[in-house]
Amino acid sequence: MASRSGPVFLCTLGGSWAVIPEILGYMDPARFPVYPVSWWEDKERPSLAVPEEVWAVTTIGGPARGASRFLRRYWDGLAPGTPRLRVFAPGGVEDVSTPEAHERMAEAVFRLALAAREAGGAPLYSLAGGRKTMSSLLQAAAGVFGAAEVFHVASEEAVDVRTRDGEALKAELSEDLAAGVHPVALGAAEAFEGLEWSFGGMAPIRGENYPLSLSGTDGGIEVLTLEGPSLYEEVARRRREATRIAQNYFIALLRQDTRENFRTLYRLPSSAIQRLRDERIGADPSREAADKAWLRRLPKTDLHCHLGGVALPGELPEIAQAVWREAGDSAGKAAECAAGLERWLAETPPLGAARGEGLRRVCEVRDGAGLPVHLATSAVIRAAARCGPWLDALCLPASGRFVGVGIRDYMEAGWLQGSALLQSPAAIGAACRLLVRKAARDAVSYLEVRCSPAKYAREGLTPDAALEAIRLGFQAAAREVAGAPKVELLIIGTRHSEHGELHEHVRLAAEASGSDTGSPRVRGFDLAGDESTRSPAEVRHLFMPLFEKCLKITVHAGETEPVERVWEAVYHLNADRVGHGLQLALHPDLLAHFRDRGTAVELCPSSNDQVVGFWDVRRGGDQGAAYPVRRYLEEGVRACVCTDNPGISRTDWTGELYKAAAMVRGGLSRWEILILVRNGFEAAFLPLPEGGELLRSADEAVYRALGAQER
């Protein structure tokens, strides 16, 4: 059949012939004046091309013969320019009441659908009219050959126009009858990809191989002779093959990864999956802004984030101001103590030896003013913030550089926050709000925040009261911040702290883990601090209350000390996760144990670089060790990306994903990045029902975040 500019309207015809003009009147009221003006008051006409021809499929005998005459009579009375009407029937099919008749009708419907597709692009379909078996065949054809739109007509029992003579619809329906007719647009349908297959003995399906031969007419019905191979059976065969291909393809995709990616990604077209596998993040510094824009859309977790290190230098005044408001009259004395410091800072740039002198003067005010430490620290922050670059300079390591400085210098860069500042409910609440607000802006949906309540109990709070202040701070933040992430807590035990403080944090975690205090809950315990001071084996006896409560354990290990520290974390402290774990690849058996057991590694790219030093594409050259993230991904280790101390490291969650890629020669693929993101959701310290729901929500969010362009 010749090609045409407009689509074909394909429908079935039974005794209810009037459904055809009812749908056409909905699509093209100018040429099919079926409905009165009042009927259109709450409706909009579909924005579709008007059909150039109408093809109705019917049977030769039964009520369809009379319906065909009525439809012809109606059509003959329409104005010039009306689409051409053609009525087809497979030869020998008086009624669709036997398997043989059904097969011939199926073949006729599929061949007409193929011819309509080749003649004018994706056809329009109507599922109303004709027997249900015929309508179901038409619906199946739409799903195979594609449809610009599929329509149906719902009607109320009072509407009996469909049994009337063709004269009934020459003028528009009465308001009463029209009110009972409800055309429904069911949406478009994509063509089955198997139509274009050209492999395994299959060639693209074309109408020339499945001709529509006419043997004559019978009462205005064009009778089809369906010669040659069966199109209906060929489509069925290809669909069976497609199911096998899809299953094998899914298995093949899974086998390409040692660890599964988000499951919705496997719904993507193969070209989109390949694009995610090929396109690199972090390989080209000139694309950093575009790479980060893509990363920012992704849902994220942070399983290794210290409350004491959340504030950037420019954000410290926000916490200091909360302390200031809480201090009342004492704030005046603090301001007096910092006045001389502020004058000196204002007159002296933080260059050369002046920076060291500035640090000395700051310490004098903070430690010698006789004020509560958080109030004195707030006074220092407020003074430095008014003196140009000084606040930023005070938040750098002693060397002034921030690559490979070692753990002690790194920790000293956070000396103006943490326990120096978080000694009151106001300060703690401000830090919680700051963290939640920043995380929400960066699409973080789950946070495990590490805190040291006993360290926040030096100016009047008890450890229990400090923990309660943290809870209340995050609860308030959840109410105030749109899109706030779900927050849970980990209690920190510090290796290099006094023995009593570590013991106190173990007690607090064990007791809090069994209490029903609402969100956020204490979900685990973290052994942190300088690895060189105490090994996991040395503190094992202190962990017994945590083991008895079956509390989740994470351990800072393998960051600056040998891989044996990682081994001890797993085998002495039953670590469910390990923080940093940079040395893990040096112990192949332990690496395999992590992979097989699903023990997660919390990588913190910026702080890892700042403490240890790694190669980074943005610094150029060949200096620096290779960051282990690529090796962990290749081995199937459940590695995830975290921020550690986002304020001290001057980073955010998007920045950490980019940093991880930038420290790998050639970058990471988008697919690898998505595996890292999924690992974070998988490794969360949540009970299975909650963790499963978190992962499912993230799966859906990833699919949405990728956008239509990548789907």
Q: Quick one: three-class SS letters along 29-40?
A: CCCCCCCCHHHH
The whole-number pLDDT of residue 392 equals 94
The domain made up of 8-228 has a fold known as Rossmann fold (3.40.50)
The whole-number pLDDT of residue 14 equals 82
Confidence class for position 375, pLDDT limits 50, 70, 90: very high
- Do 8-228 and 300-311+424-704 have matching folds? no
Residue 48 tokens read as 């579709």
Range among 35-44, 160-169, 232-241, 427-436 with highest mean pLDDT value? 427-436
Distance CA 615, CA 662 (A): 8
Angle at 631 between CA 682 and CA 613, to 5 degrees: 100
The whole-number pLDDT of residue 495 equals 85
The whole-number pLDDT of residue 5 equals 64
Residue 197 has pLDDT above 80, yes or no: yes
In this structure, of 240-244, 300-304, 446-450, 523-527, the range with the lowest mean pLDDT score is 240-244
Looking at residues 615-638, what average pLDDT do you find?
93
Residue whose entry in the numeric block shows the structure tokens 């949405």: 704
Residue 156 has pLDDT above 80, yes or no: no
How large a percentage of the chain has pLDDT more than 70? 94
Confidence class for position 97, pLDDT limits 50, 70, 90: confident
Tell me the pLDDT tens digit for each residue of 410-433.
Answer: 998 999 999 999 999 999 999 999
Long-range contact pairs involving 315-318 (C-beta distance under 8 Å, separation at least 24): 315/434, 315/647, 316/381, 316/385, 316/391, 316/395, 316/416, 316/417, 316/421, 316/647, 317/381, 317/382, 317/385, 317/391, 318/430, 318/434
Average pLDDT, the chain: 90
In this structure, of 342-346, 602-606, 623-627, the range with the lowest mean pLDDT score is 623-627
Q: What count of Cα atoms within 13 Å lies in the side-chain half-sphere of residue 58?
A: 30
Residue whose entry in the numeric block shows the structure tokens 């209340």: 472
In this structure, of 46-50, 378-382, 556-560, the range with the lowest mean pLDDT score is 46-50
The whole-number pLDDT of residue 158 equals 44
The whole-number pLDDT of residue 164 equals 47
The whole-number pLDDT of residue 20 equals 87
Residue 385 has pLDDT above 90, yes or no: yes
Question: 594: closest CA among 628, 620, 624?
Answer: 628
Q: To the nearest 10°, report the CA torsion of 626, 628, 633, 636.
A: 140
Residue 47 tokens read as 């924005």
Long-range contact pairs involving 541-548 (C-beta distance under 8 Å, separation at least 24): 542/493, 542/502, 542/503, 542/506, 543/506, 543/573, 545/506, 545/507, 545/510, 546/506, 546/509, 546/510, 547/574, 548/510
Looking at residues 293-308, what average pLDDT do you find?
97
Looking at residues 523-533, what average pLDDT do you find?
92
Confidence class for position 199, pLDDT limits 50, 70, 90: confident
Residue 15 tokens read as 């005794």
Residue 20 tokens read as 């055809």
The whole-number pLDDT of residue 220 equals 87
The whole-number pLDDT of residue 711 equals 56
Looking at residues 682-692, what average pLDDT do you find?
95
The whole-number pLDDT of residue 27 equals 87
Confidence class for position 130, pLDDT limits 50, 70, 90: low
Residue 104 tokens read as 């011939």
Domain ranges of the chain: 8-228, 300-311+424-704, 313-416
Looking at residues 236-244, what average pLDDT do you find?
86
Tell me the pLDDT tens digit for each residue of 483-507.
Answer: 999 999 999 999 876 657 899 999 9
Confidence class for position 533, pLDDT limits 50, 70, 90: confident
Please provide residue 699's backbone torsions phi and psi, each rounded to the nearest 5 degrees.
-60, -50
Looking at residues 256-273, what average pLDDT do you find?
84
Rg (CA), the chain: 36
The whole-number pLDDT of residue 171 equals 55
> What is the length of the chain?
711
Looking at residues 617-625, what average pLDDT do you find?
88
Residue 163 has pLDDT above 50, yes or no: no
| CATH superfamily of the domain spanning 300-311+424-704 | Metal-dependent hydrolases (3.20.20.140)
Burial of residue 2 (CB within 10 Å: 0-12, 13-18, 19+) is exposed
Q: Are 408 and 449 in contact (CB under 8 A)?
A: no
The whole-number pLDDT of residue 517 equals 67
Residue 161 has pLDDT above 70, yes or no: no
Looking at residues 206-227, what average pLDDT do you find?
91
Q: Where are the alpha helices (DSSP H) in 267-406?
A: 270-278, 288-296, 316-327, 330-347, 353-368, 373-385, 390-394
Q: Are 217 and 85 in contact (CB under 8 A)?
A: no
Q: Rounded to 5, what percent of the chain is helix, strand, coil?
A: 50, 15, 35
The whole-number pLDDT of residue 709 equals 58
